[in-house]
Structure 1
Amino acid sequence: MANNTTNEVRATAKYVRVAPRKARAVVGLIRNLPVAKALEVLQFNTRAVSEDISKVLRSAVANAVNNNGMRADDLYVKLAYVDEGPTLKRIRPRAKGSASRINKRMSHITIVVAPRKEA
């Protein structure tokens, strides 16, 4: 039933209000892990972005199971990366009438899952 030739399934969360640098630190922890282990790592991680990444991972697994007929037990995190989204530029008043820029950064989080090849 899987019509994808490479058997990869992806999910993306766009415009997540977290700096890409912070998200990349967490995404690096789950790369190449089985899905169950990756969800466990995210559950016990103390960073706030872990919740958003966990949502994206669950979405990718749901896409694989519902749209491509794959088994959730066989999946692993093949690719996980964070791209930079648009930046909201804000101003903070400083001394002597000057101002400093505050950059509120956004991320696009993408996770690709694939079935593990048993060899």
Structure 2
Amino acid sequence: MSKALLKFVRLSPTKARLIARQIQGMSAELAIASLEFTPNKAARVLSKVVASAVANGSLDAKSALIVSCRVDAGPVLRRSIPRAKGRATAIRKPTSHVFVEVAEGKEMKSSKSHKKNQAEGK
């Protein structure tokens, strides 16, 4: 089992978690391929972290399985922007810590239609 961790990346944790949930349980090769065509900053960041986790374990991307993909909130950079009448409002620039764990194994995650068919007993 190999791991990769990227800390203090300027990315909203809530937006990154949407992408992280999609790739959990996928094979690393399939996850990287799907992230490549996702038009999102979080997808680009997660793709690099998954590739790093595979390289850290000297694994083959086809046989590597994403066991865990977690995005935690990092510190928030606080900035201010001038407003009318001499006031200022705060701007929050969130950061994230991205953690990916990869292991050798078969693909567990299947398509939604396959899961639906299994639930219906087809």
TM-score, normalised to structure 2's length?
0.82
SS state at 2:57 partner: helix
Q: Comparing 75-84 with 90-99, which one deviates more in the overlay?
A: 90-99
Which residue of structure 2 aligns with residue 88 of structure 1?
77
SS state at 1:73 partner: coil
Q: Identify the match of residue 38 of structure 1 among 10, 18, 31.
A: 31
Structure 1 residue runs of 5 or longer lacking an equivalent are 1-7
Which residue of structure 2 aligns with residue 75 of structure 1?
64
Structure 2 residue runs of 5 or longer lacking an equivalent are 108-122
RMSD between aligned residues: 1.5
Which amino acid in structure 2 is aligned with residue 110 of structure 1?
A: F
Q: Identify the match of residue 9 of structure 1 among 2, 25, 28.
A: 2
CA distance in 1, matches of 2:86, 2:3: 49
Q: How many residues align?
A: 107
1:48 to 2:41 alignment:
yes
CA distance in 2, matches of 1:117, 1:31: 13
CA distance in 1, matches of 2:60, 2:36: 22
Task: Map residues 19-34 of structure 1 onto 2, 5 A cutoff.
Answer: 19-34=12-27
- Where does structure 1 differ by over 6 angstroms across 4 or more consecutive aligned residues? none
Which residue of structure 2 aligns with residue 5 of structure 1?
none
TM-score, normalised to structure 1's length?
0.84
8 Å contact from structure 2 (residues 27, 106) kept in 1: no
Which residue of structure 2 aligns with residue 58 of structure 1?
51
